[in-house]
Amino acid sequence: AQSVTQPDIHITVSEGASLELRCNYSYGATPYLFWYVQSPGQGLQLLLKYFSGDTLVQGIKGFEAEFKRSQSSFNLRKPSVHWSDAAEYFCAVGAGPHDMRFGAGTRLTVKP
Amino acid sequence: EAGVAQSPRYKIIEKRQSVAFWCNPISGHATLYWYQQILGQGPKLLIQFQNNGVVDDSQLPKDRFSAERLKGVDSTLKIQPAKLEDSAVYLCASSSPRDRSEQYFGPGTRLTVT
């Protein structure tokens, strides 16, 4: 069965520190993988997506993610976090946008 | 370009009442999605339209939820009668025929059922 796990419900990092948000999935084949960000009171915004090819994907706002087939993971990273990055982050997996299953989300708090 | 519009932004109703949400997608976006996001969870797809036809409504509780997109542009999602467990944020998203992999989300409607 298709599933997405984001093990960390809440993460706090200091501004300027590096960030890694974890995402593990269970899927029968190589899925489409997405990371979305949701700021308070706003809809979700796509940060990056992976379908095939280079397993290191660059996204918007300085984010990147690495697909690791052997670990069934698609972790999101940023080398230096800004206060404006505080938000909820969702990993999603599926056969395509019509078939996406979202994780429960990780809430990021940024300390000054 | 204008984003996905949704209204109302907030709605409080009592259980067993009915409620309707409206969504206007980005101009030219043929695909429209409705999601339900319960507090502490990720969004769950309720229904997907391609133009004015339903592509997938397998997770829509059809005994109380209905949705339509009569002219292939804006859409309405209705709940009748509402239950306490319907309290959630209802998100509308749309995608372009040129790149259906990217969905653009509206700000959502926060529904509270008391």
Question: Which amino acid is located at A88 in the chain?
Answer: E
* Percent of chain A topping pLDDT 70: 98
Q: What is the distance between the alpha carbons of residues A68 and A81, in angstroms, rounded to a whole number?
A: 23
- Residue B4 has its nearest CB partner, among A43, A102, A103, at A43
> Alpha carbon B53 to chain centroid distance?
15
B47-84: string of b/e by CB count within 10 Å (b at 16+)?
Answer: bbbbeeeeeebeebeeeebbbebeeebebebebeebee
Q: What is the pLDDT of residues A12-53, one digit of tens each?
A: 999 999 999 999 999 877 789 999 999 987 889 999 999 888
- Residue B102 has its nearest CB partner, among A46, A102, A104, at A46
Can you give the pLDDT at residue B20? 98
Q: What is the pLDDT of residues B17-62, one digit of tens each?
A: 999 999 999 999 999 999 999 998 999 999 999 998 999 999 999 9
What pLDDT band is residue A97 in, cutting at 50, 70 and 90? low
Return the residue of A nearest to B33 by Cα. A98
Q: What is the pLDDT of residues B75-114, one digit of tens each?
A: 999 999 999 999 999 999 999 888 877 899 999 999 999 9
Can you give the pLDDT at residue B92? 96
* Rg of chain B (C-alpha set): 13
What pLDDT band is residue A94 in, cutting at 50, 70 and 90? confident
Can you give the pLDDT at residue A111? 96
Q: Where does chain A show beta strands of DSSP type E?
A: 3-5, 10-14, 19-21, 24-26, 32-38, 44-50, 56-58, 64-68, 73-78, 87-94, 101-102, 106-111
